[in-house]
Each structure stands twice: as C-alpha cells, then as structure tokens.
Amino acid sequence: MLELAIGIILGGCALGAGCAMIAGIGPGIGEGNAVAKACEAIGRQPECKGEVTTTMLMGCAVAETTGLYALIIAFLLIFVAPGRFVDILLDAIE
C-alpha cells in the first residue's frame, strides 16, 4: 500500500513538472516574433544593427521570464517536492 502511495506521489510530481513546462510555448513564440522584427529592422536599416541587437536581446531576456518561472516550478517539482511529500505522507501514517 505504501509503495503505491509513494509511486503516485512520484508520478504526480513528474507529470506536474511536465505540465508546468507547457509555459515554454509562450516565450518561444514571443521571442521568435521579437527576433523576426529585429531582422526586418536590420534589413531596412543596416546601420543601426548594434542598437537593434542590444534592444532585442534585452527584450528577449525579459520575455523569457515567464518561461523561467515555469522552469523553476518544474525543478522544484522534480528535485524538492517528492522528498517533502513523502515525508508528509510518512508523518500522516504515524
């Protein structure tokens, strides 16, 4: 019985981590848009390449934040949560 409970905890954590990373779609599309527009801008005005690249990298990094939130949640679910949850389960049994 205990093995089953722990198995459910581990499986749930892994599934949750996978589901959390769905958030990676958003930053991917957003950064793709940003880079596409930056390429257009450089094509139109090659002389301001440096400035456009800096601004684009900056915007990309800011857009990446939501994806990183999801990544941190996924890391917590993989590396931290299982131990915590198993401890809680064992405490509850006692």
Residues that bind other proteins (CB under 8 A): 57-58, 61-62, 64-65, 68-69, 71-72, 75, 79
The nearer residue to other proteins, 42 or 66, going by C-beta atoms, is 66
Q: At what angle do helices 81-93 and 2-20 cross, to 10 degrees?
A: 150
Least distance from other proteins to the Cβ atom of residue 2, Å: 25
Q: How far apart are CA 52 and CA 45, in angstroms?
A: 10
> Considering the complex, what minimum distance in angstroms separates the CB of residue 21 from other proteins?
11
Please identify, using beta-carbon distances, which residue of 4 and 65 lies nearer to other proteins.
65
Alpha helix (H) ranges present in 1-94? 2-20, 25-44, 49-63, 65-75, 81-93
Phi, psi of 64 (to 5 degrees): -70, -20
Of 15 and 61, CB closest to other proteins: 61
